[in-house]
A and B are shown apart, each in its own frame.
Chain A
Amino acid sequence: MSIERKFQIAAYVIFISLIFAAPVIGDEFWLNRISKYLVYGMLGVAIALTWGYAGILNLGQGLFFGVGAYMLAMSLKLSSLTSLQQGSDKPVPDFMLWNAEPGAPTELCCINKGSFLWLPFQSQSVGLVLGLVLPVVIAGALGMLVFRKRISGVFVSIITLALVLLVRLVMVDAQPVTNGFNGLTDLGWLTIGGIEFDPYSRATYYLCAACLSLTLIGARLIVETRAGMILQAIRDDHVRARYLGFDVSLYQVFFFVISAGIAGVAGMLYVVVAEFASPTFMDLSFSVTMVVWAAVGGRSSLLGACIGAILINIIEAEVSETEALVEAWKAIIGLIFVLVVLFMPRGLGGAAHDVVRWFVRKPKPGQPFPALPQQSEVL
């Protein structure tokens, strides 16, 4: 095992122990905030996986996040008690009751034209399963269409971007079913196997920490399989990979789907932690912001992108404690972003990598400094 490899494993171990040790130092409200950032960390991993390892810049990752979030939120909405307090005897989303036509039956099947879509979500497990399955299916279908047609580079970005904005508009427009701009609020708690995940409890924090750790380790392992290697070969030269007989689109679709699955799970966790789902998840700015996190953390480093996401959000939260700095902070983020792209294109992860390499391979006197391998130009 090379020393660099040891550093890498040590970094993962330290990071995972840190996030599991965090509850020691903070109270529940702080933990709730940190859980959100761990969820963002998962999004960072999802972006790094497609962007750094597959060379696919997905500007619509918010779609998978949003779909995952909405699926679970619909289930949790039906398990919340607010609708019963509104005078209904069955769980019906409160906004449907408010907007119902006079005399409409207060049942999910027929309170309005689209409300039957909510019927399956009376069971929490349906929401949980669909929150993972639907993003995966959408990503699979989209990936088949896009990558089979050998569409690449900026065109993939434009398609994913247009798709997330399209879905967002449809969600906003389908106000009777989705509550439009307001999104879903007043959600119940997720319950798995008798454990209730109160958003302000340690259980929820550990759930997020465990999911992030599994995602990190899983993603790390999968990029080191043969499939992962082929994927990176495709990123570097897809023509040659195709010439060598690999089914290029198959690998691209596979990793696109995995990334979508991670984003879907992240969306579900976010709903558990933040107790709402809203169309802002599918805003252009949110999807680009995820890419920003990954770029600052290091686009071709899974752990780096994850730490980048968490770090930026922690700093942002600290800065925005002071009212006057909220807007200024956004300007600072913009500036950081320009500077990182200009002067540190490989982000924090790349910088850490170089530092380790420099320590490990200190040239002996008279021996030339080993050249760094040429970083492939990741589009």
Chain B
Amino acid sequence: MLDILFIGLSLGSILLLVALGLAITYGAMGVINMAHGEMVMIGAYVAVLSGIWLKTSLLLAIPLAFVVTALLGLMIERVVVRRLYGRLLDTLLATWGIAILLQQAVRLEFGLSFFGIHIQGLGVGLQNVAVPSYLQGTFRLAGADINAYRTFTIAVTAALTLATWFILYRTAAGMQVRAIIRNPKMAAACGIDVKRVNAVTFAFGSGLAGVAGVMMSGFKTVFPDMGTTMVVDGFMVVVTGGVGSLFGTILSSGLLGEINALVAIGTNDILARAVVFGVVILVILVKPSGLFSFKGR
């Protein structure tokens, strides 16, 4: 039983990494970023490419992926999202377009495949990432086999969640973000540079997704379309948890991860996902503002 709960926890931790970024961008900026899943995908590809070309280990890919996806996120915010503030569903559509662009960019190797140039690690095919030997295998804890890599995933998630919490609740910049979540116009009236804070927030959220991608690359195959399911799952977590509530996002990712793991043991992975969707629908129907939300806006 303990090992099942542990698998659920590790599923939930990946969900949380994806959802954290979404929770911040959606909560603070009112932007539905469908390209968020592609940030996960690109993070995973950073792990693949750095393994092949730089011969570095997965650990080094984590900061690298954060930087790459954060910069990409910043660019997307500057070029597209910035023009769409206040048009919630338009951001969904435009970022969907960006998501397609990014997928095709990886698939076509940035267009180089037209000229017959192929980059090892990119392209249509599936990629795998080698997990360092000290993260492989299992160890026994309280009578259950615990997978070392899953433990590592949970640890990284916990560290990043703590960091996010610290930034949001213990720094001046975080205070500005929280002010924007509560009321963007009032925040602007109080002298907060909403545009700048939004851009940095978006970049930070994208960076978190990149790290989630690196962690996923350790136990899943990497391919150009992998982000689409991630962004859906991430949104389910955010909406279930309550928009703009970090605490709610953490709890609901744990909840959905555990449901997924428990149902999957009894039946199969497909039905487990279906049950998770069912739970999400019920939660929205019963409590549209999410399980843990504050009043505001």
Contacts and interface: CB of A to CB of B under 8 A. Distances in A.
A284 B228 contact: yes
Contact of A166 (B84, B93, B277): B277
Nearest to A377: B87
How extensive is the interface on chain B, given as a class? 35 or more
A153 B88 contact: yes
A341 B277 contact: no
Interface string B266-277: 001011011001
Interface residues of A, number: 42
A252 B159 CA distance: 46
Contacts, number: 117
Contacts of B278: 162, 166
Contact of A161 (B97, B107, B232, B273): B232
Nearest to B108: A327
Contacts of B103: 330
B262 interface: no
Interface in A328-362: 328, 330-331, 333-338, 341-342, 345
A379 B236 CA distance: 20
A334 B284 contact: no
A333 B100 CA distance: 8
Contacts of B111: 328
A169 B93 contact: no
B94 A151 contact: no
Nearest to A283: B228
A149 B114 CA distance: 52
A267 B99 CA distance: 27
B285 A146 contact: yes
Interface in B84-121: 84, 87-90, 92-94, 96-101, 103-105, 107-108, 111, 114
A341 B88 contact: no
B215 interface: no
A341 B236 CA distance: 25
A335 B97 contact: yes
Nearest to A289: B96
A19 B201 CA distance: 49
A295 interface: yes
B40 to A, nearest CB: 15
A214 B108 CA distance: 42
B277 A169 contact: yes
Given A169-B270, A169-B273, A338-B101, A162 B114 contact: no
A interface SS class: helix
Nearest to A160: B281
A177 interface: no
Interface in B1-57: 32
Interface string A168-183: 0110110000000000
A162 B97 contact: no
B80 interface: yes
A233 interface: no
B204 interface: no
B100 A334 contact: yes
B223 interface: no
A334 B93 contact: no
B132 interface: no
Contacts of A155: 239, 284, 288
B274 A345 contact: no
Interface string A27-66: 0000000000000000000000000000001000000000
B274 A169 contact: yes
A292 B235 contact: no
A3 to B, nearest CB: 31
A133 to B, nearest CB: 22
B83 interface: yes
B285 A145 contact: yes
Given A153-B88, A165-B277, A173-B268, A334 B101 contact: yes
A328 B277 contact: no
B281 A337 contact: no
A154 B271 CA distance: 25
A288 B96 contact: yes
Contacts of A154: 32, 88-89, 92
B20 to A, nearest CB: 18
Interface in A132-155: 145-146, 149, 151, 153-155
B228 A337 contact: no
Interface of B: 32, 80, 83-84, 87-90, 92-94, 96-101, 103-105, 107-108, 111, 114, 228, 232, 235-236, 239, 268, 270-271, 273-274, 277-278, 280-281, 284-285, 288
Given A284-B232, A341-B84, A379-B87, 18 more contacts: A145-B285, A153-B88, A155-B239, A162-B236, A165-B232, A165-B277, A166-B277, A169-B273, A170-B271, A285-B228, A288-B96, A327-B104, A328-B114, A330-B100, A331-B101, A334-B98, A338-B97, A377-B87
For the complex of A and B, the 5 pairs showing the least CB-CB separation, nearest first, are: A334-B100, A337-B97, A331-B104, A338-B97, A166-B277
Interface of A: 57, 145-146, 149, 151, 153-155, 157-159, 161-163, 165-166, 169-170, 172-173, 284-285, 288, 291-292, 295, 324, 327-328, 330-331, 333-338, 341-342, 345, 377, 379
